[in-house]
């Protein structure tokens, strides 16, 4: 069940009605828990067992380690949680990848090994809820948080359907306290939540699926050499598509939670107006970047043990972050490029520590950041290194005689929409969506929302899944 489907519209309406009933708070939480399980089971019912395993293992591990007096015992319970969660993630997401690479390695030594056919389906959202549950036991182990007082609250945190399959990656300290007390959306929350849902749907259905996906798919699925114009337009289209797709999902998720009276953190803050790559990762997929910082970069040493250790921790974090996105070497290269960008930026910041760019230079640096981010998107989108190399070399003029792939209409549409997205990000760079909407008069705001709803309806989307569902 995807957000941009009629099934979800009916499901969400029923959840809202049930949540508004004058039941006891415990009953309403049970209703939300059941609804969340039904939401997840709509994809593949047996995979709900993985949710149960993760929930039960982490709950009992946290209860045991918080009462254990010996460090070795506490560490054992923490490792049980880590091994159980990462074990399931590794098996389902990386099993085939590891078998293929093992086969390639042993073939170098003359051993012919054919891995068995891999028919295991990747459980939707496993990367997201694995990170969410891991943060629970890790925070308790490091004494940064206390365990949830009620199993129901923790189970609801794990399965809460707005964030379950594609984030934002929630921390227990952000949601569990909200489940301890009765929540029902105020009129203002309900209104703003519905506006967020509408904005997110517009990003996904109209911009990402209807306008931008066609150019990206035409270029990256083409079986011919890619010219400069096509390579750039296809990559820029994907750049806009993945933002509108994923930011659209996060916006819908936050809006849905708000309609139920719960708050979830921002996951995107207009990243295509970032100046520098540390700024980019403070704006793009914020909950993942903060998770990687707190549970990977800092434990690897962070910036506390000299430059060499810092750069190693930075690169290791980004390489693993790339692999988190997908079981493929193209994703590792994508992460490695971002790690390289961040390392070079760190060197330059130390070299020019006292430099304060003016408005024009700030914009120029922002455009350079955006263009270099687009280079990394080539590896994120391409299925093979061959295709990535074809598009990259095409972007820099290697295929001057290549036949055109995109029509003039697709090129024009892509250029207009992507320019509009980047311009909107720069205008909103230091603003929030809520602050802007509060200043818009009621009539223009209503007309704008009505136009968005009309475009969503006439786009006649097929309820296609969000890109990040595959991760």
Of 469, 463, 119, the C-alpha closest to 326 is 469
d(CA 59, CA 81): 9
Give the residue ranges of DSSP H helices in 275-358.
277-281, 286-292, 307-325, 329-351
Task: Please give the helix or strand (H or E) that residue 82 lies within, else none.
Answer: helix 71-89
Burial class (CB in 10 A: 0-12, 13-18, 19+), 410: buried
d(CA 85, CA 75): 15
Active-site residue (options: 163, 325, 399, 425): 325
Range 80-103 burial, b when 16+ CB lie within 10 A, else e: bbbebbeebbeebbbebbeeeeee
d(CA 354, CA 58): 47
Q: What does R_g of the chain's alpha carbons equal in angstroms?
A: 23
Question: Phi and psi dihedrals of 136, rounded to 5?
Answer: -65, -55
Token pair belonging to 109: 């030594």
SS3 annotation, 225-272:
CCCHHHHHHHHHHHHHHHHHHHHHHHHHHHHHHHHCCCCCCCCCCCHH
- Token pair 């320019």 is found at 419
CB 328, CB 319: distance < 8 Å: no
CB 237, CB 216: distance < 8 Å: yes
**Distances in Å between the alpha carbon of 220 and those of 226, 230, 279, 287, 378?**
9, 10, 28, 29, 9
Q: Is 425 designated active site?
A: no
**Distances in Å between the alpha carbon of 270 and those of 234, 266, 364?**
21, 11, 17
Active site residues: 325
């Amino acid at each position: 069940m995807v957000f941009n489907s009629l099934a979800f519209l009916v499901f969400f309406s029923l959840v809202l009605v049930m949540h508004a009933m004058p039941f006891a708070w415990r009953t309403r939480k049970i209703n939300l828990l059941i609804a969340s399980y039904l939401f997840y089971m709509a994809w593949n019912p047996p995979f709900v067992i993985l949710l149960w395993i993760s929930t039960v293992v982490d709950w009992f591990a946290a209860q045991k380690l918080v009462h254990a007096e010996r460090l070795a015992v506490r560490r054992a319970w923490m490792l049980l949680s880590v091994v159980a969660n990462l074990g399931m993630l590794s098996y389902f997401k990386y099993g085939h990848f590891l078998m293929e690479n093992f086969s390639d390695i042993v073939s170098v030594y003359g051993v012919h090994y054919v891995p068995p056919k891999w028919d295991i389906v990747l459980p939707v959202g496993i990367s997201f809820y694995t990170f969410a549950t891991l943060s629970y036991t890790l925070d308790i182990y490091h004494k940064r948080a206390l365990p949830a007082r009620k199993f129901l609250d923790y189970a609801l945190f794990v399965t809460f359907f707005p964030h379950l399959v594609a984030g934002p990656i929630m921390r227990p300290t952000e949601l569990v306290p909200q489940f301890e007390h009765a929540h029902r959306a105020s009129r203002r929350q309900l209104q703003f939540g519905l506006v967020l849902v509408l904005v997110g749907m517009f990003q996904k259905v109209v911009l990402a699926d209807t306008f931008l996906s066609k150019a990206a798919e035409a270029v990256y699925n083409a079986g011919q050499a890619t010219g400069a114009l096509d390579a750039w337009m296809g990559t820029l289209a994907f750049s806009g598509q993945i933002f509108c797709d994923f930011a659209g999902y996060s916006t819908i998720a936050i809006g849905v939670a708000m309609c139920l009276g719960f708050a979830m953190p921002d996951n995107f803050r207009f990243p295509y107006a970032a100046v520098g790559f540390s700024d980019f990762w403070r704006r793009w997929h914020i909950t993942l970047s903060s998770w990687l910082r707190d549970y990977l970069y800092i434990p690897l040493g962070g910036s506390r043990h000299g430059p060499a250790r810092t750069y190693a921790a930075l690169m290791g974090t980004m390489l693993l972050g790339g692999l988190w996105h997908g079981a493929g070497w193209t994703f590792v290269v994508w992460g490695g490029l971002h790690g390289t960008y961040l390392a070079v930026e760190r060197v330059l910041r130390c070299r020019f520590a006292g430099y304060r760019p003016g408005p024009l230079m700030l914009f120029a640096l922002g455009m350079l950041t955006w263009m270099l981010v687009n280079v990394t998107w080539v590896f994120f989108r391409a299925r093979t290194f061959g295709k990535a190399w074809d598009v990259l070399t095409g972007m820099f003029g290697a295929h001057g005689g290549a036949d055109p792939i995109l029509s003039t209409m697709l090129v024009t549409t892509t250029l207009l929409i992507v320019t509009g997205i980047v311009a909107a990000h720069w205008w909103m760079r230091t603003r929030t969506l809520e602050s802007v909407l509060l200043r818009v008069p009621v009539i223009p705001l209503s007309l704008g929302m009505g136009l968005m709803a009309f475009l969503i309806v006439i786009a006649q989307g097929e309820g296609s899944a969000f890109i990040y569902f595959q991760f």
